[in-house]
Amino acid sequence: MDGFHDLGGRQGFGPVARDGNTEPFHSEADIRIAAMWVRLIRHGIYNMDEYRHAVERMEPRHYVGASYYERTFTAVVSLCVERGVFSADELSTAAGFAVQLSRPSREGRIGDIHLPEIGVGDRVRVKDEFVPGHIRMPGYIRGKEGVVVKISPAYPYPDAHGHGLESAWQRSFDVRFSSHDLWPDGAQEAEVQVGVFHGYLDKVI
């Protein structure tokens, strides 16, 4: 999560505008894109982490100007081109315009199998590291300390899964942070709880 898409915890974007429209789809195109996204996952063309990474790889100006389902469309067709389902030229010919695709993927990484034992109540520190490929660690918690409050079942390790690499699954830990630790002198007092994969954490002794 080191790209422009990682907006969590950032300031300067103004208040969230609520228009009162809670419908999941706003057009026929949205419905078609959502159906295409689900069907291609079921057919094994890509997995969820590969899909997320394709969204992350969008050119920043394209990403910020696109709607939710435009981003979904870009990710899906980019993965289809990369998997050889159809070519970029075939896609643009069918669409009637040059379809902008996500940028090429960078390398992923295999998860470490030698991880510290962590339990509920333990104090942990999020590793202060940057990776070129996919990662499911919000930037605003990087290097911060918190307390584990819950442990979730093991899931595919996203840094590998987002690149089609085989790696041992990892548990994720719900870590409770103080807002003052995350944003010193810039937030009201509150607790922020984030799910963090085991490989992103060090135990504080």
Query: Which position has the token pair 């962590």?
Result: 118
Q: Flag whether 153 is in a domain.
A: yes
Q: What percent of the chain has pLDDT over 70?
A: 98
Q: Are residues 68 and 19 in the same domain?
A: yes
Q: What pLDDT band is residue 1 in, cutting at 50, 70 and 90?
A: low
pLDDT tens readout for residues 34-68: 999 999 999 999 999 999 999 999 999 999 999 99
Whether residue 95 contacts residue 77, with contact meaning beta carbons closer than 8 Å, is answered with no
| CATH, residue 162 | 2.30.30.50
Of 103, 132, 153, which residue constitutes the final position of a domain?
103
Looking at residue 2, its pLDDT comes to: 66
Q: Are residues 171 and 129 in the same domain?
A: yes
- What is the extent of the structural domain holding 151? 123-203
Q: Are residues 48 and 98 in the same domain?
A: yes
Q: Are residues 85 and 136 in the same domain?
A: no
Q: Flag whether 113 is in a domain.
A: no
Please give the DSSP secondary-structure letter assigned to residue 38: H
Q: Flag whether 110 is in a domain.
A: no
Q: Are residues 3 and 90 in the same domain?
A: yes
Q: Are residues 133 and 172 in the same domain?
A: yes
Give how many domains the chain has, as a whole number: 2
Q: Are residues 85 and 127 in the same domain?
A: no
Tell me: pLDDT of 25 over 80.
yes
Q: Token pair for residue 95?
A: 């669409």
Q: Token pair for residue 98?
A: 């040059």
Q: Are residues 160 and 93 in the same domain?
A: no
Q: How many CB atoms lie within 10 A of CB 136?
A: 19
Of the ranges 8-22, 101-115, 183-197, which one carries the lowest mean pLDDT score? Answer: 8-22
CA distances from 192 to 170, 186, 203 (A): 22, 14, 19
Q: Are residues 149 and 190 in the same domain?
A: yes
Of 103, 132, 155, which residue constitutes the final position of a domain?
103
pLDDT tens readout for residues 94-142: 999 999 999 999 999 999 999 999 999 999 999 999 999 999 999 999 9
Looking at residue 104, its pLDDT comes to: 96
Whether residue 172 contacts residue 152, with contact meaning beta carbons closer than 8 Å, is answered with yes
Tell me: pLDDT of 158 over 70.
yes
CA distances from 58 to 5, 66, 71, 149, 153 (A): 9, 10, 8, 34, 31
Q: Are residues 13 and 95 in the same domain?
A: yes
Whether residue 203 contacts residue 119, with contact meaning beta carbons closer than 8 Å, is answered with no
In angstroms, rounded to a whole number, what is the distance separating the alpha carbons of residues 74 and 166? 26
Q: Flag whether 114 is in a domain.
A: no
